[in-house]
């Protein structure tokens, strides 16, 4: 493929309230560890909206055995259904679920969302557990147990009062949340036991790779084998362990970064820009609403500790509730009339763009709602307007190449507006190129607008998928030619912030950042597994490979806190070389804090961490990170 320019044409964009500061961070009440008391159930007189056949709403008056049976049935179907098309959301009305002798033990499989419908997390109490375990890939489900592929699931807006009644000694020791990328835990209060991000109760190796917690509270967190993790705006009673890069931003109780890299912690006292994800809730009359939190600057701790999360409430009647059978024309007509958009759980085939053109529009997906490109379409576009929020949506490439999967703002600006106090926000928005089917996209995520917040995304060109089991399929050599994706994230707008930017396996620069004054808090990248040769992984100018994170040469101000680029090339012998993990202009305003590279296969090579700085990752130090504490050196 010909080289792609990393700097867009110069442009200017109008900004609203450029001198207006976002509201100060919330005052947060002290953490408590006791079991929360659930709010009384609201009136049921209101008419419930039709949320589709794959969304189930539970009432605290239902028998625990009935709820347990429903959830167990879904978990059995979704436990190993990594590439399936089924999507599920389970919503809990305010109240308590489970008893001291009959706890509700929820196991969360692929494409499953568990969410409370209270105004605060304490309004829905799960007396029991909400857990994810390792997948055991050998020995008929008894050996080679890992969490590396535990993707695409959600828990939010509830309290887990841990009750291990009926579980064995090891399982009783914690609430297990052994997950990797594209999994979020938001607005969750865990009481009564540790939260473990590693399932140490199954046969090893028990690896896990990446995850995200925000706006949550836990008494103590066992990190264990997690390779990278972001915890943002939360409260923890303590934290143990970590592998490569563990990042804390605005977290009360976070560990110190003073011993880095011996202890792989990166700790920011406050989060530069944040906005919590919108959430469904029932008001006192039993009516459905969506709460849209306000943006904050330099925030710290949970948003709900002192009362209601600051923001605005939108009645569900102001949303168009779409189902997979809804046409794009109908969706766009409703958006043009001023409606917000709720995507119910399912897979949507999108042959023309869903176009969000009005400021402050909310697009909220339930149950990992998935937009799949058809015929090379761009599934979702957002205009150059402030305050749009897209949350809980997965965007898949189709079999015909799309130029981009989600585009925020027009490539050249064209006079759009932005507002630093009200940034367009992407929360839990995930991308796939390949996996369930062949996928092709030039770029997955393209951000052209200024003042955009990316709050947790996984941008994934698939390193495995259903095609691995297709007759005649040759593995990585075929994947390099068929699942094509040049760049994962291309950021052209100014003043863009990313909290939790996970981008993996693209065929050139995984991330290209050309806008000024960008900030990333945790960057996780794995280079592509499948270049068939060094020639295929060499730039036209002779540079060996493409950096995992590229800041354009003309950028003067940029910040990155906590970043890792990993290499694992399993297809080319004797391995291939990448000259650098991070490539940035050598200027005082571009600063990287706590970054590293590591090579995992013992065959390939990453020569340097940042530009020409940092040690060589190769077979002599397989699995051992090469760190740079600060670039440039203070």
In this structure, what token pair is assigned to residue 227? 């390779």
The answer to whether the CB of 266 falls within 8 A of the CB of 594 is yes
Residue 602 backbone zone (phi > 0: left; psi -120 to 50: alpha; other: beta): left
Answer yes or no: 526 catalytic.
yes
How far is the C-alpha of 317 from the C-alpha of 332, rounded, in Å? 17
CA-CA distance, 338 to 122, in Å (whole number)? 33
Q: Is 488 helix (H, G, I), strand (E, B) or coil?
A: strand
Beta bridge partners of 512: 490, 550
Q: Kindly tell me the sign of the dihedral angle through the C-alpha atoms of 524, 530, 531, 533.
A: positive
Q: Cα–Cα distance between 474 and 428 in angstroms, integer? A: 33
Residue with tokens 């659930």: 38
For residue 521, the SS3 value is: strand
CA-to-CA distance for 299 and 585, rounded, in angstroms?
29
Distance between CA atoms of residues 167 and 148, nearest Å: 24
> What is the distance between the alpha carbons of residues 434 and 397, in angstroms, rounded to a whole number?
7
Residues linked to residue 188 through DSSP beta bridges, in sequence order: 158
Q: Round to whole Å and give the CA distance between 354 and 330.
A: 10
The radius of gyration computed from the CA coordinates of the chain, to the nearest angstrom, equals: 23
Contact residues for 490 (Cβ-Cβ < 8 A; gap 6+): 443, 445, 446, 447, 511, 512, 514
CB 447 within 8 A of CB 475: no
Give residue 111's Cα distance to chain centre.
13
Four-CA torsion 572, 548, 546, 514, nearest 10 degrees: 160
- Calpha distance 493→499 (Å, rounded): 16
- How far CA 483 is from CA of 148, 397, 418, 466, in Å, comes to 21, 9, 35, 12
Beta partners for residue 408, in sequence order: 382, 447
595: Cβ contacts below 8 Å, ≥ 6 apart: 560, 562, 563, 564, 565, 581, 582, 609, 610, 627, 628, 631
Are the C-beta atoms of 580 and 539 separated by less than 8 Å?
A: no
How big is the chain, counted in residues?
634
Distance (Å, rounded) from C-alpha 410 to C-alpha 498? 19
Please state, in angstroms and as integers, the Cα–Cα distance from residue 588 to each residue in 155, 188, 630, following that order. 41, 40, 12
Phi and psi angles of residue 553, each rounded to the nearest 5 degrees, phi first: -60, -25
Assign 3-state DSSP to the chain and report helix, strand, coil percentages, each to 5.
10, 40, 50
* Short-list 291, 248, 299, 252, CA closest to 273: 299
Strand partners, 273: 297
Q: What is the DSSP letter of 317?
A: G
Catalytic site residue from 86, 526, 579, 583 = 526
The residue assigned the tokens 């794009």 is 328
Backbone angles phi, psi at 232, to 5 degrees: -125, 135
Which residues participate in catalysis according to the annotation? 526
């Amino acid at each position: 493929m010909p080289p792609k320019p990393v700097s867009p044409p110069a442009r200017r964009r109008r900004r609203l309230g450029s001198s207006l500061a976002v509201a100060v961070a919330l005052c947060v009440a002290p953490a408590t560890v006791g079991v929360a008391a659930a709010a009384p159930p609201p009136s049921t007189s209101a008419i419930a909206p039709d949320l589709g056949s794959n969304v189930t709403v539970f009432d605290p008056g239902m028998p625990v055995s009935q709820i347990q049976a429903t959830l167990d049935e879904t978990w059995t179907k979704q436990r190993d259904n990594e590439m399936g098309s089924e999507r599920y959301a389970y919503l809990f009305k305010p109240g308590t679920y489970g008893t001291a002798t009959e706890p509700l033990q929820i196991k969360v499989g692929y494409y499953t969302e568990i969410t409370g419908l209270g105004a605060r997390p304490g309004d829905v109490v799960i007396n029991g557990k909400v857990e994810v375990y390792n997948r055991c890939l050998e020995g008929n489900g008894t050996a080679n147990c890992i969490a590396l592929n535990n993707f695409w699931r959600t828990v939010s807006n509830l309290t887990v009062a841990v009750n291990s009644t009926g579980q064995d000694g090891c399982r009783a020791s914690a609430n297990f949340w052994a997950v990797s990328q594209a999994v979020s835990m938001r607005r969750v209060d865990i009481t009564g036991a540790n939260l473990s991000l590693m399932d140490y109760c199954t046969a090893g190796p028990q690896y896990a790779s990446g995850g995200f917690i925000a706006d949550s509270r836990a008494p103590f967190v066992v990190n264990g084998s997690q390779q990278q993790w972001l915890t943002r705006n939360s409260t923890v009673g303590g934290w143990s362990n970590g592998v490569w890069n563990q990042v804390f931003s605005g977290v009360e109780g976070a560990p110190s970064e003073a011993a880095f890299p011996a202890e792989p912690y990166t700790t920011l006292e406050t989060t530069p820009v944040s906005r919590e994800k919108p959430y469904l809730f029932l008001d006192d009359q039993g009516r459905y609403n969506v709460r849209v939190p306000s943006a904050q600057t330099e925030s710290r701790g949970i948003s709900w500790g002192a009362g209601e999360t600051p923001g605005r409430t939108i009645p569900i009647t102001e949303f168009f509730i779409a189902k997979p059978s809804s046409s794009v024309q109908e969706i766009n007509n409703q958006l043009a009339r001023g409606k917000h958009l709720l995507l119910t759980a399912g897979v949507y085939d999108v042959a023309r763009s869903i176009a969000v053109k009005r400021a402050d529009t909310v697009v909220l997906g339930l149950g990992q709602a998935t937009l799949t490109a058809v015929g090379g379409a761009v599934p979702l576009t957002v205009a150059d307007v402030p305050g749009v929020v897209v949350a809980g949506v997965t965007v898949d490439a189709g079999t015909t190449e799309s130029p981009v999967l989600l585009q925020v703002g027009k490539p050249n600006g064209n006079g759009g507006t932005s507002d630093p106090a009200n940034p367009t926000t992407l929360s839990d928005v995930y991308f796939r190129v390949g996996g369930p089917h062949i996928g092709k996209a030039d770029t997955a995520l393209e951000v052209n607008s200024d003042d955009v917040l990316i709050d947790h995304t996984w941008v994934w060109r698939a390193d495995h998928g259903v095609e691995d089991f297709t007759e005649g399929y040759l593995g990585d050599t075929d994947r390099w030619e068929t699942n094509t994706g040049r760049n994962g994230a291309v950021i052209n707008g100014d003043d863009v912030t990313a909290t939790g930017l996970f981008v993996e396996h693209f065929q050139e620069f995984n991330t290209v950042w050309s806008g000024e004054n960008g900030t990333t808090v945790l960057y996780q990248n794995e280079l592509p597994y499948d270049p068939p040769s060094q020639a295929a992984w060499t730039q036209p100018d002779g540079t060996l490979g493409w950096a995992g994170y590229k800041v354009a040469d003309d950028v003067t101000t940029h910040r990155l806190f906590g970043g890792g680029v990993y290499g694992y090339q399993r297809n080319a012998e004797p391995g291939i070389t990448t000259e650098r993990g991070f490539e940035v202009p050598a200027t005082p305003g571009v600063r990287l804090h706590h970054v590293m590279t590591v090579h995992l296969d013992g065959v390939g090579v990453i020569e340097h961490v940042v530009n020409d700085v940092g040690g060589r990752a190769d077979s002599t130090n397989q699995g051992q990170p090469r760190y740079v504490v600060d670039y440039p050196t203070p």
